[in-house]
Structure 1
Amino acid sequence: MFKLAHNGNVLLDIGKHSPPSAAFIIEALEESNFCDCKIDYDSINNFFKSKNPEPILVVATKHDAILSVTISDDKMLAIGELTLAQGGNVLSLDDAKMQLVKARVARGYKQAFLEKLLQKQFEMPAGSSTKGILAKGRLPIDGQDTKFNTLVKTLKDRLKTPKLKDDGSVDMRDFGKLASVSPGETLIRQQPATPGKEGFNVLGDLLPAKSGEILSLVSGEGTEISKSNPLELVSTIAGVPVEINNGMRVDDIFTISEVTVKSGHIDFNGSVIVSGNIEPGMRVKAKGDITIFGTVESAQLTADGNITVKQGIIGHYKPEDKSLSCTLNCKGDIYISHAQYSYLEATNILIERQASHCSIKAVNLLQVGQAELPKGRLFGGEVLNATTLIAGEIGNESGAKMVINLAASGAEITADTDNCFQDLANTDKQLDTLQAALEKADLLKDIEKKNMLIGKIGATQQHYCQQAEQLEKRLSNLENNLHDLLNNANLAVNSVLHSGVVIHIFDKVLKTTRTYPPCSVKLQNNKIEVEFKTH
């Protein structure tokens, strides 16, 4: 009844016997050997509508299975779409591989992916389509930066972990055994940077990886790079380990219960730990860190490292010389609980609860309140300098005088810039004078004297040219430093900014005349602006 043409069409000869209906033809096809072929419904229906039908009717078409391969836009995936055969041949593994080659798939191919897709030919209806990943690219894996694994507990670690009592509460005065190391003890083990692993896309293009940053292990005082292992830092003395950038130092340590008239002032080359209080009028000076577990009252603390006071610092205003009786000054950072009528100066200053009527000078950060969202109070007194100030509440309802200076060091940069311009002008003047002398020397008739003079003038010119180049480089650095300082200057208030607070940012001034909700105060377009925080 049906026969297959060379072009894949299934034909029905209706010259002798005309079929009674389209349903008859379709039912007959489904019972025949051509049941999987694609039925041509349009051709069958048109036959019954036509007044002069053709003697041969195309009732179905045989189709082989086909695979089309698409490359994703990022070239990281090759996706195959398989259309199953309809009365035709299934797709072989080798023919499927040829389609991958035609699509220029070069890497990331797995035969298991292709076999899984081809298996669908025996599980799904004829003529249906299915998709599957045939090849996957690999993203590059960036290398890891140098890591420094600390093998000992530092004093800072110890202060973060107060001792737990038997009843489950925390004893804020007891921090357990003092962190200390012995000579030869390994402090840090360096994990070298890795180069990373390059990736590729399915077309075979290489995707380069970024190498990790290579950092050098730094040996501070009291330490050295191990002679047997250059990746290890070891202690050369007994003392307390203190973290520094990319390394560690070990401080000799002096421990005392209290600093009083009986103990006398302390001036020590290492670090100082006071387990109790420091009484009024006493001085403590250290080359390393100063750590106080009690309170400090009307005393002077000076350190090359950090100063930490677990309790408060209390001073008084001295009307005779308009000074404050308690001063803390260090080259590192200051960490304290609270302060009043005290002078504080450090790189960064972190106050847990509040500061009242203090004079505070920070190079970078002044934070009042604990980390995450500081909610501490700052009122009265003056902030002499800071780049960033973060607090919960600034000023108070009584209107106590409060002055804040941000980016005050910009005045020093400006003064240095003016001096640099003056030096550059003087250098240019010297070069003009030398040029005139050179032209004059060129007129001399005595060749030997002329050459000797020109040589001397040339050497002096070179000196001033180098000096001018250095001055121009310094001017550029000063300009960049001032730009960065003003760009980073920021006052962040997380609760309330009261009225009556005078805010200086470089040479601009803003006095608050009302109470502000959480806000940020910055220098924008050469003007101090207040931006309100949105939640």
Structure 2
Amino acid sequence: MFKLAHNGNILLDVSKHAPPSAAFVIEALEMSTFCDCKIDHEAINNFFKNKNTESVLVVATKYDAAIKIEISDDKMLAIGELTLAQGGKQLSLDDAKKHLVKAGIVRGYKQVFLEQLLEKQAELSPGTIVKGTLAKGRLPSDGLATKLVTVVETLKDRLNAPKLKEDGSVDMRDFGKLASVEPGTVLIRQHPATPGKEGFTVVGDILTAKPGENKQLVAGEGTEISKLNPMELVSTIAGVPVEINNGMRVDDIFTISDVNVKSGHIDFEGSVIVTRNIDPGMKINAKGDITILGTVESGELTAGGNITVKQGVIGHQKLEDKSLSCKLVCAGDVHVSHSQYCYIEAANIFIDRQTSHCVMKAKKLLQVGQTDLPKGKIFGGEILDATTLIAGEIGNESGAKMAINLAASGAEITADTDNCFKDLANTDQQLDTLQAALEKADLVKDIDKKNQLIAKIGATQLHYCQQAEQLEKRLSSLDHELHDLLSDANLAVNTVLHSGVEIHIFNKVLKTIRNYPPCNVKLLNNKVEIEFKTH
């Protein structure tokens, strides 16, 4: 009844005996060997509607399975769209692989993906369209940064762990034996940075991985890179290990119970530990760290490293010149419990509880209160400089005046910028003068003399061109430095900002005339603005 043509069409001869109805033809097709072919319902229905006189009717078409491969815009995914056979041949694994090659898929292909898609030919109805992932790209994995693993206990670790007494309480004055090392002790082991793992797209493009940041192990005083293993830092002297940026140093330690008239002032090349107190008028100068387990009263401490006072620092205002009798200055960080009438200068200043009537200068952070959510109090006195100031309560209820200066170091940056512009103008003037001299030299008739002059002027021009280039780089660097400083400048208040506080950020000022709830004070649109915190 039905015949298969070369082009895949299924034909019905209607020249002698026309079938009674469309339903009859469709039912007959469904019972024939061509039941899986795509029935042409439109052609069959048109034949019966229009009383066609054609002798042969195309009632269905035989289709082989076909696959179309789409590659995502980012080339990280190849999706196969398989149209199942309708009376025709199923798609073989080998033929499907040829389609993948033709589509340009070269990486990320897994045969199991293709097999899972082709298995649908046995499970779903003829003509069904099914999709499946055939290949996946791989994103690059960035390398790991150099890891520096400390293998000894440092002075800082020891001071954070006071000794436990027999009754279970903690003795805040007794920190036990100092953490000390012998010559040759391994201090830090370095795990080198890894290069990362490159990625790829399904079409074979290489996605470069970012290598891990490479940190150089720094050998501070009293240490060296091991001659046996360049990945280890070892001590060269007996002493106490102290962490520095990307490394460690080993300090000689001078330990004393009290610094008073009896002991005299302390001036030491290493670090100093005072197990009790500093008496009024006494001074300590140390190239390393200074650690006081008791209090400092009207004393002066100067350190090349950090200053830590486990109790308070207390001074008074001198009658003769209004200066403060207590002074802490260091290149590293200052950590104190509380402070009063004291001048403090450091990279970062950390005060656990409160500070009153102090004059403080921090290069970066000034924090009053515990680390998680600082809620310490600060009132009276003056902040000379800091980039970020975090506290709970600033000022007091009486509205007594106090001044806070943030990003004050911006004035130094602008002064440097002005000097750079002056130097650049002078350099440009020199270059103009040299250009005029070069044009004059070109008129000299004596060839040897002329060439000699041009060479000399050219060498001087090169010097000033290089100088101009360095000045322009310096100007760009200063501009970025000032931008970053002003962007980071922030006064964070976690409880209340009282009235009577004068807040300077760089060259702008805001005076508080009422109390404010938790807020941030920043420089926005060239104005000092208050942003309230939302919870």
TM-score class, shorter: 0.7 to 0.9
- SS in structure 2 at match of 1:86: coil
- SS in structure 2 at match of 1:400: coil
- SS in structure 2 at match of 1:318: coil
- Answering whether residue 300 of structure 2 is matched by residue 300 of structure 1, we say yes
Instruction: Return closer, same or farther for 1:433/1:115 CA change in 2, 3 Å cut-off.
Output: closer
Under a length normalisation based on structure 1, what TM-score does the superposition of the two structures give? 0.88
Q: CA deviation at 1:344?
A: 0.7
Structure 1 gaps of 5+ residues are none
Q: CA deviation at 1:525?
A: 4.0
* 1:26-84 deviation per Cα after TM superposition (whole angstroms, max 9, x unaligned): 33333322222223333333344333464433333222111111111110111111121
- Counterpart residue identity of residue 82, structure 2: L
Q: CA deviation at 1:408?
A: 2.2
Q: After superposing the two structures, state which structure 1 stretch, 199-208 or 363-372, moved more.
A: 363-372
Aligned-residue RMSD, C-alpha: 3.6
* 1:175-227 deviation per Cα after TM superposition (whole angstroms, max 9, x unaligned): 55532222101111222223333222111122222233333221100000111
- Counterpart residue identity of residue 505, structure 1: I
Give the Cα separation in 2 of the matches to 1:451 and 1:13. 104
* 1:269-305 deviation per Cα after TM superposition (whole angstroms, max 9, x unaligned): 1112233333333322211111223322222221110
Q: After superposing the two structures, state which structure 1 stretch, 506-515 or 432-441, moved more.
A: 432-441
- SS in structure 1 at match of 2:408: coil
Instruction: Return closer, same or farther for 1:463/1:273 CA change in 2, 3 Å cut-off.
Output: same
- Answering whether residue 223 of structure 2 is matched by residue 209 of structure 1, we say no
Give the Cα separation in 1 of the matches to 2:67 and 2:139. 27
Question: What is the 5 A alignment of 1:73-222?
Answer: 73-162=73-162, 173=173, 175=175, 177-222=177-222
* 1:352-392 deviation per Cα after TM superposition (whole angstroms, max 9, x unaligned): 22211111011121122222432222111100111222222
- SS in structure 2 at match of 1:116: helix
- SS in structure 2 at match of 1:149: strand
- SS in structure 1 at match of 2:75: coil
Q: After superposing the two structures, state which structure 1 stretch, 481-490 or 77-86, moved more.
A: 481-490
- SS in structure 1 at match of 2:42: helix
Under a length normalisation based on structure 2, what TM-score does the superposition of the two structures give? 0.88
Aligned length: 535
Q: Share of identical aligned residues, percent?
A: 77
Give the Cα separation in 1 of the matches to 2:296 and 2:235. 32
Give the Cα separation in 2 of the matches to 1:280 and 1:148. 42
Q: CA deviation at 1:143?
A: 2.5
Give the Cα separation in 2 of the matches to 1:451 and 1:61. 91
Question: What is the 5 A alignment of 1:345-384?
Answer: 345-384=345-384
- Answering whether residue 25 of structure 2 is matched by residue 25 of structure 1, we say yes
Instruction: Return closer, same or farther for 1:75/1:161 CA change in 2, 3 Å cut-off.
Output: farther
- Answering whether residue 273 of structure 2 is matched by residue 273 of structure 1, we say yes
Give the Cα separation in 2 of the matches to 1:52 and 1:460. 100
Instruction: Return closer, same or farther for 1:131/1:161 CA change in 2, 3 Å cut-off.
Output: farther
Give the Cα separation in 2 of the matches to 1:197 and 1:173. 51
Confirm or deny: 8 A CA contact 2:173 2:276 kept in the other structure: no
Q: CA deviation at 1:468?
A: 7.0
Instruction: Return closer, same or farther for 1:108/1:454 CA change in 2, 3 Å cut-off.
Output: closer
- Answering whether residue 507 of structure 2 is matched by residue 516 of structure 1, we say no
- SS in structure 1 at match of 2:357: strand
Give the Cα separation in 2 of the matches to 1:33 and 1:460. 96
Give the Cα separation in 2 of the matches to 1:53 and 1:69. 43
Give the Cα separation in 2 of the matches to 1:236 and 1:299. 34
- Answering whether residue 334 of structure 2 is matched by residue 334 of structure 1, we say yes
* 1:118-165 deviation per Cα after TM superposition (whole angstroms, max 9, x unaligned): 122122222222222211222222223322222222222334445667
Give the Cα separation in 2 of the matches to 1:451 and 1:5. 93
Structure 2 gaps of 5+ residues are none
* 1:66-112 deviation per Cα after TM superposition (whole angstroms, max 9, x unaligned): 11111111101111111211211111111111111221112222222
- SS in structure 1 at match of 2:353: strand
Q: CA deviation at 1:168?
A: 7.8
- SS in structure 2 at match of 1:495: strand
Confirm or deny: 8 A CA contact 2:376 2:391 kept in the other structure: yes
Q: CA deviation at 1:250?
A: 1.0
